[in-house]
C-alpha cells in the first residue's frame, strides 16, 4: 500500500498523542516481538514503537526490517520513536483522506 503525502501528513497528526505500544530492546527483532507487532497493527492500525538502539545506522536497518516484515508503512521517525501504519483489511479503523 502506498500512501499519498496528504495521507501521511494526516497520520502524522494522529501519531502525536499516541504512546508507544512496542518497545524494541537490545535483542532486536524476535518472533515474540513480531507477534506483538502483528496484534498491535491489527487492533490499532497506527502505532508507535520505541527503539532502544543508540546506533543510528542500526536503527535505520531495524526500521526498514520491521516495516518490511510487518508489511507496514513508515509514517515518521523522531529520535528513537517510530510510527508505522498498516490498514486493517477486514475492519478499517482510520478513515484516510483521499489522495
Question: Is the per-residue pLDDT at 65 higher than 80?
Answer: yes
* pLDDT band at 95; cut points 50, 70, 90: very high
Quote the CA–CA distance of 28 and 61 in Å, as a whole number.
Answer: 11
Question: Is the per-residue pLDDT at 99 higher than 80?
Answer: no
5-85, superfamily in CATH? Answer: YhbY-like (3.30.110.60)
Phi, psi angles (nearest 5°) of residue 41: -65, -40
Share of the chain above pLDDT 90, in %: 89
- How far, in Å, are 1, 88, 95 from residue 81 at the CA level? 22, 22, 24
Q: For residue range 66-93, what is the model confidence (pLDDT) as tens digits?
A: 999 999 999 999 999 999 999 998 999 9
Amino acid at each position: 500500500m502506498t500512501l499519498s503525502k496528504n495521507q501521511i501528513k494526516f497520520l502524522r497528526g494522529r501519531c502525536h498523542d499516541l504512546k508507544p505500544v512496542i518497545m524494541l530492546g537490545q535483542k532486536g527483532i524476535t518472533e515474540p516481538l513480531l507477534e506483538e507487532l502483528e496484534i498491535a497493527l491489527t487492533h490499532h492500525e497506527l502505532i508507535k514503537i520505541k527503539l532502544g538502539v543508540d546506533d543510528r545506522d542500526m536503527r535505520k536497518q531495524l526500521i526498514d526490517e520491521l516495516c518490511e516484515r510487518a508489511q507496514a508503512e513508515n509514517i515518521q521517525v523522531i529520535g528513537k520513536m517510530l510510527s508505522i501504519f498498516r490498514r486493517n483489511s477486514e475492519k478499517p479503523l482510520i478513515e484516510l483522506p483521499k489522495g
